[in-house]
Amino acid sequence: MKNKIQNSITTLNIIAVLLLISIASCTKEGPTGPPGKDGVDGKDANIVCGTCHNNTSGLLAKQNQWKNSLHAQGINFTRNTIQCAFCHTEQGFLESIKTGKYETARAINDPVGITCRTCHNVHTKFDSTDFALTYSEPVKFMFDETKSHDFGKGNLCARCHQSRTLSPKPVVGGPDITITSAFWGPHNNPSANIVAGIGAFELPGSPYTNSPHKNLIGNSCVTCHMANPIGAHAGGHSMNMFAHIGTTKTPNLAGCQGSNCHDNINNFDYEGVQTEIKQKLTELRILLAEKNYIDTTTSNGEYHYDRLKASQAKPLTLPANHAAAAYNYFLVARDKSFGVHNSRYARAVLRNSIEALLD
């Protein structure tokens, strides 16, 4: 009995030794090879992130200004269809500038409004180039893609702030056209067309010339709308031209005064330009309303909200030159600068449109 017990113990000891040898052989590392090359040191996060996120107030000031902009309010970013998303949503705009098309491949799901990343290359290289604009090329006009204009830094703005394609499109001196939509005409805020003097129907009459604003202001929209701010209410990244503080409405004239052209200006009605253009616009509006072409009853005096009296149920057939005059009215009204952007062009557009309706 004793021998059996001893044999069993011996057997267990052998098994234990073999098991330890097996474990050791499985976990044993081979010989150490030569050390590899040192990797490139990463950038100090304090330096990388500190380009923007630092103890200065610059970025915070821009963010506060942005909150007061119409873009930040995101009123229309739900317009996410193929035809609208390329300007009304961030995703659509970034897609559009990559493809060069004034439309998106499909409607944008989960649309986002215009943000910092729409206009700037935020968090791309994590250095100062992140402030660079996402779009900088001269703008081709949707109304007539054979024409373009370089707005400098304002190209980013002008890509969207322009009139869209038009259908049906009258030909000056051509046949009548029939319109079936109250929304026929230029898209709201077609300021790029007015600034560049491109996009109105050029009816016979006064010559079509341009104010110095077209070419002398190198960065166009940016020079005035993003001039030195009034707090966070106007200028800067608010892009507002007026600061509404309490009951006070203060124009931001920093862009005008810093141009060495209008140093003594104290309002936007320089030499009565806005007064004159609004008078001509009113005259044209009255003629269009008298001919029962436009509805002015629901716009509360805000000319840019007027609509054409046309629908699928009640189509409106107009002589080509009258349709052109109606379009020109909407173009100048929806620009909303009353001549500030390009007074000479706006003046000729309105004069000739009035004459076309009086013929």
Give the model confidence (pLDDT) of 202-221 as tens digits: 999 999 999 999 998 989 99
Q: Residue 19 above 70 pLDDT?
A: no
139 falls within a domain: no
Please provide the DSSP assignment of 307-350 as one string: EES--SSS-EEE-HHHHHHHHHHHHHHHH-STTSS-HHHHHHHH
> What is the arithmetic mean of pLDDT over 245-265?
87
233 falls within a domain: no
300 falls within a domain: yes
Helix ranges, the chain (H): 2-27, 45-50, 58-67, 70-73, 85-88, 90-99, 116-119, 155-158, 191-196, 213-216, 221-225, 254-257, 273-290, 320-335, 343-358
Question: In terms of residue numbers, what domain contains 83?
Answer: 56-131
Q: Which has more confidence, 18 or 40?
A: 40
Q: pLDDT averaged over the chain?
A: 90
Give the Cα separation of 295 and 344 in Å (integer).
Answer: 27
Task: Give 125's Cβ-side CA count (13 Å radius).
Answer: 7
Using the 3D structure, point to which of 76, 107, 131 is the last residue of a domain.
Answer: 131
95 falls within a domain: yes
Do residue 114 and residue 177 come from a single domain?
no
Give the Cα separation of 293 and 291 in Å (integer).
Answer: 5
Using the 3D structure, point to which of 114, 131, 148 is the last residue of a domain.
Answer: 131
- For residue 12, the model assigns a pLDDT of 53
Do residue 281 and residue 333 come from a single domain?
yes
Do residue 198 and residue 65 come from a single domain?
no
46 falls within a domain: no
Do residue 192 and residue 331 come from a single domain?
yes
> What is the arithmetic mean of pLDDT over 215-231?
94
> What is the arithmetic mean of pLDDT over 185-199?
96
Using the 3D structure, point to which of 73, 105, 131 is the last residue of a domain.
Answer: 131
The DSSP H or E segment spanning 250 is strand 248-251
Do residue 173 and residue 291 come from a single domain?
yes
30 falls within a domain: no
pLDDT over 70, % of the chain: 89
- pLDDT digits 0-9 by tens, 278-329: 999 999 999 999 999 999 999 999 999 999 999 999 999 999 999 999 999 9
Q: Which has more confidence, 217 or 40?
A: 217
- For residue 282, the model assigns a pLDDT of 98
162 falls within a domain: no
93 falls within a domain: yes
Do residue 205 and residue 76 come from a single domain?
no
- Total domains, the chain: 2
Q: Which has more confidence, 109 or 26?
A: 109
Q: Do the Cβ atoms of 180 and 311 come closer than 8 Å?
A: yes
> What is the arithmetic mean of pLDDT over 63-91?
90
